[in-house]
Chains A and B, each alone.
Chain A
C-alpha cells in the first residue's frame, strides 16, 4: 500500500503532467469522423495540437473556439456556437467533442447549458452531427481524467438502453489512454481469436496508426463508429482497462445494464492469465493456439530476462494507471520501485502501487529521487534529467517526441509483456554489461 504524498512546492519545475483537456481531446480522436473542439483561447489548442503531432507524427484534427477578450468578459457561448456551426459546415464531422479549458471553467460558465441551447436552436443545421461535452478544466486532473471524462460523455450521450437483445458474441472493451495503437490492435485480434466481436471505445487505431487516406481528411478517419457506440447496450460484457475507466464502465452499466469487469493492468503474466480466463468464459471457447504459444514465449522471456531485472532500482513517473501498470510489472520481475511520481492524487490505483510512497509532483521531484536508481521510466521530457543523472531512460507514456514508433510498441497481454521485458533488459544490459569481457 503506497502512501500518497501531495505537492508542497509553489513552483512546478519541469512538469510531468499534460493537461486534462488534452486527454479528453485524445479520447475523442478515437471516434470515427470526429473533431475535438477545445473551448478556450487559441493557445490551449495550439499547444495540445503541437504536442499530439510531435507524439504521433500524424496530422491531428483539433479545433478551438478562440476565446478573445470580449468572450472572456461576457462569456463564450457565442464563440462556441460559431465554432460548432463553422466546423459542421466546413468539415461535416460525425461528432464534435467539446473539451472545456481553464478559461471557461474559471468563469464558471454553464457550458452544458450552452451546448443544449445550441443543439436545440440549431437542430436542423446539426443533423448528422453529434455534439458531446466533457468538462475538463486545466487546473484539475491530467490526461487520464480527461480521457475518462470524454469516454463517459460519449457513452452517456449516445449509448441506448437495449435490454431486448444481447448479442452473445459481442463484448465492449474500454481501454485506458495508456494503451498504444498496437495494444488495441492486439486486444482486438485476441478477442476475435476467441470468436468474439469486440467494440473498442475509444479506438485510436485508424487515424493515429499511420495509415494514409486517399484524400485530405479534416476529421478523424478510423476509430469507433457512432453506430457501434449507440449499440453498446447489445454487448454481453464490458471490459474496462485501468482504474480511470471505471467511470465510463459504470455509466454504460447504469444506462444499459451491461456488466463490467475491471482490469487495472493487462501487463504481467498473472493479469493476462485472468484476462484470458475471462475471454474463454465469455466466449465458451478453448484458448486458441496462438495465445497459448504467446504465453510460452512470455514464460521463456521471464526466465531469460529476470537475471537482468532482479534487484534493480526503478524511478518511475507517470499518470496513475500507467504508474501502476509498469511498477506492478517491474516488481513482478524482481525489481524494486525506488521512486514513484505521479500527476494527480485522487486515483485509487495509486494505493496499489508497490512503493512506499507515491509523490504527486513533477520531473524535478523525480530527478531528486532518482540519483541512485538503475533506470528512470517516464516520457520524453525526462531525457534531460536522465542525462544529468547518468541514469538510463526507458520511455513510456505521453509525450514521446524523440523516439519513433511509440504507437506501435506492444505493452499488454503475453506478447506485450514479453516485449517490455526485452526492452527493459536490453536497456539495463547496455548500461550494466553482464560480461566481464568487452562485447
Chain B
C-alpha cells in the first residue's frame, strides 16, 4: 500500500490544475483534495471517478476487481454513446466472495477472469480496476496485468484508484495517469496529419460530441482521439501523434494534457463546447494551435468564415426563444466546467443567473464564473439539500439546472428542473446544443402542468362548485 500512498500524494500535488501549481500547496489542496467528511459527504469515490473517465472507451473490456457492490450497483448508469463497439456496456467484475478474500484466491481469480474475457469477448484491451477491498488485501493488479499482457499478447491495463484514496475527481486524474503510463504512446499511427487533435475529457454523453464533430470535419480538422467519448483503444494508444489538444472537462484530464505537452510537445488549451461564444472560441483556439504547429494558415480564415456562418444561423434560431426566456431566473447546481460555460451561455440568451455552484471547479473555472457574473454572492460551494431548497425559494428561481442527484429538491418544491449532468437525455454541446438547451428550458418552464400541480387541493379551497 505504501507505493500506492506515494502515488496518490503525487496525484494531489502534481495533478492539480495547470496554473494552480504556482499558487502554493494550500491552493492546490483546495483544488483537488477537498476532505470527505463523514455524515455529510456526497459524491462518488476515486474508483467511481476512474471508471467514469475511462469506461466510454468502447472496444475495451472494463473489469472491476472487487466484491459485487462496486460494479453491481453502478453499471449501466451512464449514457455515453458509441458509433460502433458496444463492449464497454457489458459489465465485468470478479465479484469476490468471502471465500476468495479469506483464502487469498483473489489474484488468481482475477487472472482467470482476464482469460475468460479474452476468450469470450475478444476485446481490444482489458482495463482492470482495483477497489477498496482488493487494494486493502494487497492484490497487486500491476503484476497480474503485466503477466496477462505477456501471456495473452493483449494490452491489460491496471487502473489503481481504490475508492478510499479520495474523491471522484481524484479518480479522474488517476485514470489519466493510467493512460499515460500504459496506453498513450504505445502504438504508432499509420498516417499522422498536420490537423490531428485530441479532445480530452469529452464523454460524448447522449452523443453530444457528434454535434461538434461535423464542425471540425468541415474545417478538415481530424479528431485522432476523443478521450474517452466514443474512443477506440488504438486511437487512445496513438494519441501522442496529435498536433494539439483541447481539454473539455478541465478538472478531469488537465494534468494528462499537461504531461502530454511535456512529453510529446502537444500544446493544449482548456475550452468548452457549451454556449455560442464558447464553441466559437474553442474552434478558433484549435485552429490557432494547429497553425502554430505547422498547419496551413488558411485554416484560421476558414474557421472565421465557419464561425460567422454558424453563429448567424444559431442566433436566428434562438430568436424564437428569447421572448419566452428573457429575464427568467436560473439556479445552477452543477460543477466543473459547466459552472461557468453554461452560465455564460444562458446569459447570452437573456436569462438571469440567481446562483451557481462551483464544486469540482478548478480555480480557473471559479475565476471565470466570477468574471462572468460580476457578483460574489451568486457563487456557492457545495450545499446541503435543505439550503438549496431554501435558496430556490428565496431567490425566486424559475428553474433549477442540475444533476439527477438534486432533481427532487426542485421537483418537490414544485419548480421546473432540467438535467444537465450525465443522465440527461438531450445533447447540449455546440451551436446545435444551445438551441436544444433553450428549447428544453422553455419546455420545462412553460409546461402547462405547473399551474395545475400547484393548485391547492379541493378540500383546502372555499366551497364553490
- Using a CB–CB distance below 8 Å, which chain A residues touch chain B? 7, 9-15, 17-22, 37, 40-51, 53-54, 58-59, 63-69, 71-73, 79-80, 82-87, 90, 101-103, 106-107, 137-140, 142, 212-213, 215-216, 218, 362, 364, 381, 384
Contacts and interface: CB of A to CB of B under 8 A. Distances in A.
A11 B93 contact: yes
B41 A66 contact: yes
Given A9-B116, A18-B73, A80-B38, A103 B132 contact: yes
B69 A54 contact: no
B8, B43, B73, B90 interface centre (most CB from chain A within 10 Å):
B73
B29 interface: no
A11 B37 contact: no
Contacts of A82: 37-39
A300 B238 CA distance: 66
Contacts of B90: 13-14, 364
Given A46-B45, A69-B166, A139-B97, 17 more contacts: A7-B95, A11-B116, A15-B91, A41-B45, A42-B41, A42-B48, A46-B42, A54-B423, A58-B408, A59-B412, A63-B40, A69-B164, A90-B39, A101-B69, A139-B96, A142-B68, A364-B90
Contacts of A384: 89
A17 B36 contact: no
A368 to B, nearest CB: 11
B43 A41 contact: no
Contact of A64 (B38, B48, B70, B423): B38
Interface string B159-196: 00011111110000000000000000000000000000
A10 B116 contact: yes
9 contacts: A14-B90, A15-B68, A15-B93, A40-B132, A42-B45, A42-B48, A43-B45, A86-B38, A102-B67
B92 A67 contact: no
A371 B1 CA distance: 46
B165 A90 contact: no
Interface stretch (B197-205, B288-296, B383-391): B383-391
Given A15-B72, A50-B77, A106-B101, A139 B39 contact: no
Given A9-B116, A15-B75, A106-B101, A138 B164 contact: no
Contacts of A101: 69
B405 interface: yes
A15 to B, nearest CB: 4
A11 B38 contact: no
B97 A12 contact: no
A93 to B, nearest CB: 11
Nearest to B413: A216
Contacts of A138: 67-70, 133
A18 B132 contact: no
A218 B388 CA distance: 12
Nearest to B74: A47
A102 B39 contact: no
Contacts of B27: none
Interface in B368-404: 384-386, 389-390, 404
B95 A46 contact: no
B328 to A, nearest CB: 23
B385 A13 contact: no
A43 B163 contact: yes
A83 B69 contact: no
Interface of B: 1, 5, 8, 36-48, 63, 66-77, 89-98, 100-101, 109-110, 112-117, 120, 132-133, 136-137, 162-168, 384-386, 389-390, 404-405, 408-409, 412-414, 423
A362 B91 CA distance: 10
Contacts of B162: 41
A47 B113 contact: no
Contact of B68 (A19, A68, A103, A364): A19
Contact of B39 (A13, A37, A142): A37
A11 B76 contact: no
A218 B96 CA distance: 34
Contacts of B63: 11
Given A15-B91, A41-B132, A140-B98, A86 B37 contact: yes
A58, A69, A87, A362 interface centre (most CB from chain B within 10 Å):
A69
A399 to B, nearest CB: 9
A46 B40 contact: no
B167 A140 contact: no
B38 A66 contact: yes
B386 to A, nearest CB: 5
A59 B96 CA distance: 31
A93 B39 CA distance: 12
A278 B334 CA distance: 54
A295 to B, nearest CB: 34
B412 A213 contact: yes
A69 B48 CA distance: 16
B38, B43, B132 interface centre (most CB from chain A within 10 Å):
B38
Contact of A50 (B120, B386, B405, B408): B405
B117 A42 contact: no
B68 A17 contact: yes
Given A40-B132, A106-B101, A47 B73 contact: yes
Nearest to B44: A46
A40 B163 CA distance: 9
Nearest to A59: B408
Nearest to A46: B44
Minimum-distance CB pairs A-B, first 6:
A43-B45, A86-B39, A83-B39, A41-B163, A19-B69, A83-B38
Nearest to B1: A73
Contacts of B413: 216
A212 B70 CA distance: 32
B38 A15 contact: no
A58 to B, nearest CB: 6
Nearest to B73: A47
A9, A21, A40, A139 interface centre (most CB from chain B within 10 Å):
A139
Contact of B117 (A11, A72, A213, A218): A11
Contact of B74 (A20, A50, A106, A364): A50
Nearest to A89: B39
A107 B164 CA distance: 14
A7, A59, A79 interface centre (most CB from chain B within 10 Å):
A59
Given A46-B43, A72-B136, A85-B39, A41 B73 contact: no
A10 to B, nearest CB: 4
Given A44-B69, A46-B43, A46-B44, A68 B137 contact: no
Given A19-B73, A83-B39, A216-B385, A12 B164 contact: no
Contact of A12 (B5, B44, B94): B94
Nearest to B171: A43
Contacts of B73: 18-19, 22, 47-48, 50-51
Contacts of B48: 42-43, 46-47
